[in-house]
Amino acid sequence: MKIAVTGASGLIGGALVPALRADGHAVIRLVRRTPRTADEHRWDPQHHRIDPSVLADVDAVINLAGTPIRPRPWTRAYKQSLLRSRVDSTATISEALAAAAAADPARRRVLLSASAVGYYGDTGDETVIENHPAGSDYLAQVCVQWEAATAPAREAGVRVALLRTGLVIDRSALLMQVLGLVFRLGLGGRLGSGRQYWPWISLHDEIGAMRFLLSADDVSGPVNLTGPAPVTNAEFTRRLGAAVSRPTFLTVPRFAISLALGEFGRSSVLAGQRAIPDVLQKAGFTFRHQTLDDALHAARTGD
């Protein structure tokens, strides 16, 4: 396949591109700066600009672009940037794919477009599969608009899968770095009540699921990219503490997280989803890392 990747320099894209090439695919990267190599092509998602010829002979687009979601104060400008960067990028790709489909309807095309389990909002201990309705908090509403921006491609006959990803477990993942540091300092503990579910997925399985979905012709719509066994934050804390051989008896109270991390803390740390990868499992995808311990071990050893 010829595959275009947006947000290719990020955590997921950085691991995805070499994996796709190892599978024998021809990969081009859409970049927002001046291209440096023959496989890079410039696009300007903020202004919905892309050279239409770039996607003309592309079979798949994997759309990962968006302002990084960071534990920092969520000012109005930053929240706008989280939303606009995702919606504008996705609309740009989706409209360009629709144009390519109109020009050459015979080619089968697929768009794998990033989203997040934050789509569901805070769902307590209820098991959540892909038909669960959207939440009402800011991140959930970002996800709703982000996913909706794929409509032009879908309406033009492109197969669209919406990647509702959980917390990606990898040594280089930011939240994992922060948590790992806190634990190594001996300050680890459950966050808030600890009862909120954290749906995790190993980076290996995140990439594996995307490779699987490229050729899963009968899968479209929302797909939870989460490991098969989500855990509560309290359990996550115990497992992570064991993985770095540190105690986990502390509790960081809700108000402290809310004070230190603001809306990020309330939406991403204190809230959670017991999300199950129903679509992937029914389609026959096999997870390499079935448990959080497997994923943490892989993040530490690269296995």
Ligand X SMILES: NC(=O)c1ccc[n+]([C@@H]2O[C@H](COP(=O)([O-])OP(=O)(O)OC[C@H]3O[C@@H](n4cnc5c(N)ncnc54)[C@H](OP(=O)(O)O)[C@@H]3O)[C@@H](O)[C@H]2O)c1
Question: Which residues make up the interface to ligand X (CB under 6 A)?
Answer: 7-13, 31-32, 45, 64-69, 85, 89, 114, 116, 165, 167-168, 173
Q: How many CB atoms lie within 10 A of CB 284?
A: 9
Based on CB atoms, which residue is closest to ligand X, 68 or 73? 68
Residue 25 or 32: the one with the smaller Cβ distance to ligand X is 32
296's CB contacts (< 8 A; 6+ apart) are 169, 239, 240, 243
Residue 28, CA atoms < 13 Å, CB-side half-sphere: 20
**Tokens linked to 253:** 């109270």
Give the strand pairing for 40-44 and 26-31.
parallel
Residue 45: DSSP 8-state: G
Write down the least CB distance from residue 217 to ligand X, Å: 23
Q: C-alpha 184: how far from its chain's center?
A: 27
Residue whose CB is less far from ligand X, 8 or 216 = 8
Output the smallest distance, CB 106 to ligand X, in A. Answer: 31
- Closer Cβ to ligand X, 69 or 269, answer by number: 69
Nearer to ligand X, 108 or 152 (CB): 152
Minimal distance in Å, beta carbon 13 to ligand X?
5
Write down the least CB distance from residue 34 to ligand X, Å.
12
User: What is the maximum alpha-carbon separation in the chain?
Assistant: 61
Closest residue to ligand X in the complex (CB): 10
Task: Report, in Å, the least distance between residue 170 CB and ligand X.
Answer: 8
Query: Cβ closer to ligand X: 31 or 60?
Result: 31
Could you tell me the smallest distance in angstroms from the CB atom of residue 97 to ligand X? 17
Cα 125 to chain centroid distance, Å, stands at 21
Alpha-carbon gap, residue 179 to 190, rounded angstroms: 11
